[in-house]
Amino acid sequence: MKIAIIEDELLAVNYLKNLLDKQHIIPVTETVILRSKKQAIDFFENNSADLIFMDIHLGDGMSLEIFEHVEVFTPIIFITAFDEYAMRVFRHFTIDYLLKPFEEEDLHKALQKFISIRNNFDPEPLLKSMSTLQQGNNHEVMKRFMVREGNKLKSIDENNTAYFFASGKYLFLTTLDHQTYIYDDTIKDIIQKLNPEVFFKVNRKFIINKEAITEIIKHSSQKVELKLSPDPEVNTEVFISKTQISECLIWLNK
C-alpha cells in the first residue's frame, strides 16, 4: 500500500512515518513525503496513493488548495492542531483526522477506520467537507506547537510560548517557564500561522508573545528596546524594527 504524507513540519513527518513503519494494521510498501502544496500538486498530477495523511496548513498555503489543481479521490486522514475546527468540520463525514499531538493509539484507530471505509469510499462527502473548511480557514490559527524533547514529541501551548527566535539556520521556541526547543519552521512562515492578538514579529529574528515583555525602553523615536522574560539565550538586545515601531505599539496597547 502506497502512503502519501503531506506535511511541512519535519518532526511531525518523522514521527508519523515511524509510527506507520511500526504498525501492522495495513501493509505499507512505499511512503511518499510531500513537504509543500507545490510538491503535492506536482506529485498528484501524474501519481496516486492508496491513503493520504495531510496537514491542513502548509508553509506555502492551505493544503485544501491542492484540490483546485488536481483531482484526488483517495481517502484522506487530516492532521491538524485546530481541534474544535477539525471536529466541527469532520464529525459528520467518513473522513478521519488526527489532532496534534497524537499518540500511536490515535493513528491505529484512524487506520482501522480507513480499512472499514476503503472498499466503499465515496469522495462526495470529502469534497463537501473541503468546501466547508475553505470557507472558514482564514480565521484559524495554531494554538499548539510540536517540539522534540529527547526521543519524545511534546506539545507547547501558545499561552506558554514566550517567543520564537531565529539563529543561524534554525528557529527556536522559548517558553515562559524558561525552556528552549528547536522548532521545525521558519520565522517567515510561522508568523502566518500565529494568533496576531498574542504574537508580533518585532524584527527579522524575533516573534514575541505580549506576556514575555517585561519592559519597554524608548531610546529615541526610532529606537525602542524590549526586555523579555526569560532572557534570550542568544544574549542579544531585542529592538523593534524601525518600520514596525508604530504598529507594534498599537498592538501592545490592545
Q: Max alpha carbon distance in the chain (Å)?
A: 68
For the stretch 39-62, pLDDT in tens is 999 999 999 999 999 988 888 888
- Same topology, domains 2-120 and 144-252? Answer is no
Domain boundaries of the chain, sorted by first residue = 2-120, 144-252
What is the Cα–Cα distance from 214 to 185, expressed in whole angstroms?
Answer: 26
Cα-Cα end-to-end distance for the chain: 52
CB distance 227 to 239 below 8 Å: no
Look at domain 2-120 and name its CATH class: alpha beta
Provide the CATH number for the domain formed by 144-252 in this structure: 2.40.50.1020
For the stretch 85-94, pLDDT in tens is 555 555 434 4
Among 112-126, 157-171, 228-242, where is mean pLDDT lowest?
112-126
Query: Tell me, what's the pLDDT at 139?
Result: 47
Q: Is 168 helix (H, G, I), strand (E, B) or coil?
A: coil
pLDDT at 136 exceeding the cut of 70: no
Quickly tell me which residue has 539556520 as its cell: 169
Rg (CA), the chain: 20
pTM of the model: 0.54
CB distance 226 to 240 below 8 Å: yes
For the stretch 186-209, pLDDT in tens is 888 888 889 888 999 999 999 999
Query: Tell me, what's the pLDDT at 108?
Result: 94
CB distance 185 to 202 below 8 Å: no
199, β-bridge pairs:
209
Question: What is the DSSP pairing of strand 144-149 with strand 61-62?
Answer: unpaired
**Which residues are CB-contacts of 199 (< 8 A; sequence separation ≥ 6)?**
158, 161, 164, 191, 207, 208, 209
Cβ count within 10 A of residue 153 = 17
Mean pLDDT of 164-169: 90
Query: Tell me, what's the pLDDT at 123?
Result: 54
Query: Tell me, what's the pLDDT at 73?
Result: 75
**Which residues are CB-contacts of 131 (< 8 A; sequence separation ≥ 6)?**
none
